[in-house]
Amino acid sequence: MSLGWRARRRWSLVILLVWMPLYVVAAVSLVALFDRPGLLVELAIYVGLGLLWVLPFRRVFLGVGREDPEAPRRPGEGG
């Protein structure tokens, strides 16, 4: 079942406003459990974790920044 444009737009807001802050707290807490690594290693860990959170949600974010493809066109608009 594929989500419509409106549903993906709503879910993307939920993911960005709820899931991402929770993920950031969990990632920082996880890294804090270990001794602090070197600066470049720590940067690589945070960059990796920063990219890892979005992988399951790629489809949700696809095309939500564009206008609604199912919206009726007004006369005189190109497209």
pTM score, whole prediction: 0.71
Coil/strand/helix, residue 76: coil
Instruction: Write out the DSSP string of 11-74.
Output: HHHHIIIIIHHHHHHHHHHHHHTSPP--HHHHHHHHHHHHHHTTGGGHHHHTTTTSPPTTSPPP
pLDDT at residue 1, as a whole number: 57
pLDDT at residue 44, as a whole number: 92
Residue that has been written with the tokens 């992988």 in this structure:
55
Per-residue confidence in pLDDT tens, the chain, 79 aa:
578 888 888 999 999 999 999 999 998 998 889 898 889 988 998 899 989 888 888 888 888 877 777 777 777 665 5
pLDDT at residue 78, as a whole number: 59
